[in-house]
Homo-oligomer: A and B are copies of this chain.
Amino acid sequence: MGASKGAAPNWIETAPAKGSYRSIFKWGDPHAYKHPNAKLVQLLKETFGLGDDHFKVPVSHGNRPVAHGQPSRVITRDHAAAIARIVGDENVSVDDYDRLKFATGKTLEESLRLRQGEVRAVADLVVHPRHKDDVRRLVGYCDREQIPVYVYGGGSSVNFGLWPSRGGVTLVMGTHMNRVVRLNETNQTVTVQAGIMGPDYEGALNDAPRRYHSRHRYTGGHFPQSFEFSSVGGWVVTLGSGQLSSYYGDACDLVVSQEVVTPVGDLKTLDFPATANGPSVNRMMIGSEGCFGVLVEVTLKIFRCLPENRRYFSFVFPSWTKAVEAGREIAQGQFGMPAVFRISDEEETHIGLKLYGIDGTLMDRLMRLRGFQPMRRCLMIASSEGEKRFAGNVKRCAKRICRRFGGMSLTGYPVRQWEPGRFTDPYLRDDLNDYGILIETLDTAVTWDRLHPLHQGVRRLIKARPETLCMTHASHFYAQGTNLYFIFITRAADIDDFVAFQEKILHAFEQFGGSPTHHHGIGKLFSPWLQPHLGDAQMAVLRALKGHFDPNTIMNPGGQLGLDTGGRHWRDIC
């Protein structure tokens, strides 16, 4: 398979038109893109039986100006005027574009619909609160007037978490409430406003000696793929995980305390690292996805920033089974955890080696020579961080285990190839979508003992669809289990066909003992699977909390976490 075969596709490289649908659904920086490389294009052509011609003219681009003219569903002129009096005229908008933009997340489905100019739920009014007093007044007013309140952080939701099923008000947290409140070096914590974005957060911590006169540089340790375009508040309320979470912990491990404005008043939790003072209310708010209130401030653990100690390593295994065994043994080895820690199944390895530019190289030939054959071999990429010898020992112990399970070291090369693109893969989607090829991801948590049946069962389902690629990796490790992250590339007759396929995968997660999601949150999209998964008793507890915090059901109503649907499907509420 030659990388240079055929003409290069005619990828779109111009920024979306201002005010266009494309400017809303396109990932990330309007001027940035990341095209599939030649090897991936070749694979797509082979998979879908496409020729060079297919990649000459995009099948859709969504570059038309937004115009939906949806009537306001809840907000009257009196409401709008009252809200403008709270936050100032310049901080409210009833513009069609804003109402759509801040109602939209980053699911494939939303992207596909917007390409067609298909608009469903939008906010009635977009509001940019200036500070927590604004939020208090807004929530109080909306509660009295029974106006739905939705919250927009970075906009990277992949579960319709921002979808304003019932109209009303959407609060945009990042416009003003985006600052570091204080860095506490003694306690190794930082307090930030919820709307601060990933790079601003991490940048402030890295630059702490200059900005806060601290002794050390710090890191937040939280790097989701959406890092550049997601907010710290979003990480917390959706229970996010970063790519280094095996070492630094998931968002729920990082939150020390928080301040949430709820319809029944402010809730502030305390900054003790551990106490025995009854059930942790702090933990109850994490993952509440805007259903209990608006997170306005959060205090997080931070870590010394020690990039100079980072160590990289990669291995190839003869099979997925061996890669999983090595991963589990490392996670249970009691020498600390790698930071980056990913194992890819056979197909993801196959495609990954193309993406990382390893396929066809000397390293590839060496692998084949040593018996690591395509579509059987599986890749592990990893790094370790922390104190120098700690990081060195993690690498040393992990490598010993990898060898024990038949792995061959590939040096740090593959992980270094992966690293620069670790936040930019979502750009690929727009290119593929432009040419009618669909790519989406779904993730699930799993215990070690259910991993293989789940992987096989879900993969079988996905691969049963004609002309469908399915890449799977585990990327967040625990002694008790991991996650499985499925990336599928397919084509669909229409959006409903895609949605039905996606729902089948969710069913398979439940059927084979996975959870609806490991770190994508539930939102509205996955809400039909939450009650079957958690069971009635746990759901009743969540609804009791909902009833406590939000007696008038104004916070993210209409399906979020399945708390208020009364048995209806969230899609039927809109």
Give A contacts to B, CB under 8 Å: 184, 186-189, 238-241, 250, 252, 256, 264-281, 283-289, 301, 303-304, 306, 328, 332-336, 385-387, 389-390, 393, 396-397, 445-449, 476, 478-483, 515-522, 530, 533-535, 537-538, 540-542, 544-545, 547-549, 561
Given contact pairs A276-B521, A481-B187, A481-B272, A281 touches B538 in the complex (Cβ within 8 A):
yes
Given contact pairs A265-B537, A272-B447, A449-B184, A530 touches B279 in the complex (Cβ within 8 A):
no
Chain B residues within an 8 Å CB radius of A515? 270, 272, 275, 277
Chain B residues within an 8 Å CB radius of A266? 537
Given contact pairs A537-B266, A545-B544, A287 touches B279 in the complex (Cβ within 8 A):
yes
| C-alpha spacing A184/B450, complex, angstroms | 12
A281 touching B534, Cβ below 8 Å = yes
| C-alpha spacing A339/B306, complex, angstroms | 24
Given contact pairs A256-B480, A266-B537, A393-B393, A287 touches B277 in the complex (Cβ within 8 A):
yes
B389 touching A396, Cβ below 8 Å = yes
A283 touching B281, Cβ below 8 Å = no
Q: Within the complex, what minimum Cβ distance (angstroms) separates A60 from chain B?
A: 31
Query: Contacting A446 at CB < 8 Å: which of B272, B278, B304?
Result: B272
Given contact pairs A187-B447, A281-B542, A517 touches B480 in the complex (Cβ within 8 A):
no
A279 touching B335, Cβ below 8 Å = no
Given contact pairs A266-B537, A278-B542, A447 touches B480 in the complex (Cβ within 8 A):
no
Q: Within the complex, what minimum Cβ distance (angstroms) separates A524 from chain B?
A: 13
Kindly report which residue of chain B lies nearest to residue A562, judged by CB atoms.
Answer: B278
**What are 21 A-B contacts with C-beta separation under 8 Å?**
A241-B276, A256-B480, A270-B534, A271-B447, A274-B483, A274-B518, A275-B515, A277-B530, A279-B283, A279-B286, A279-B288, A281-B541, A283-B283, A304-B334, A333-B387, A334-B390, A336-B336, A389-B396, A544-B544, A544-B548, A545-B545
| C-alpha spacing A417/B264, complex, angstroms | 54
Q: Within the complex, what minimum Cβ distance (angstroms) separates A552 from chain B?
A: 15
B540 touching A278, Cβ below 8 Å = no
Kindly report which residue of chain B lies nearest to residue A520, judged by CB atoms.
Answer: B276
Chain B residues within an 8 Å CB radius of A336? 336, 390
B540 touching A264, Cβ below 8 Å = yes
Query: Contacting A387 at CB < 8 Å: which of B277, B328, B397?
Result: B397
Known: A274-B445, A275-B516, A301-B479. 12 other contacts (CB 8 A): A187-B447, A187-B480, A189-B480, A241-B274, A278-B287, A283-B284, A334-B385, A334-B386, A334-B390, A335-B386, A336-B336, A540-B548
Given contact pairs A390-B390, A397-B389, A252 touches B273 in the complex (Cβ within 8 A):
no
B273 touching A480, Cβ below 8 Å = yes
Kindly report which residue of chain B lies nearest to residue A272, judged by CB atoms.
Answer: B445
Q: Within the complex, what minimum Cβ distance (angstroms) separates A173 from chain B?
A: 19
Given contact pairs A335-B387, A449-B184, A542 touches B274 in the complex (Cβ within 8 A):
no
Chain B residues within an 8 Å CB radius of A479? 188, 273, 301, 303
Chain B residues within an 8 Å CB radius of A333? 387
Query: Contacting A280 at CB < 8 Å: which of B283, B306, B332?
Result: B283
Give me the 6 closest cross-chain CB pairs, A-B, nearest first.
A273-B478, A239-B276, A335-B387, A544-B548, A273-B480, A334-B386
Given contact pairs A387-B397, A389-B393, A479-B301, A250 touches B279 in the complex (Cβ within 8 A):
no
| C-alpha spacing A397/B306, complex, angstroms | 15
| C-alpha spacing A267/B542, complex, angstroms | 12
Given contact pairs A304-B334, A480-B301, A275 touches B517 in the complex (Cβ within 8 A):
yes
| C-alpha spacing A561/B276, complex, angstroms | 11
B541 touching A548, Cβ below 8 Å = yes
Chain B residues within an 8 Å CB radius of A277? 239, 287, 515-517, 522, 530, 533-534
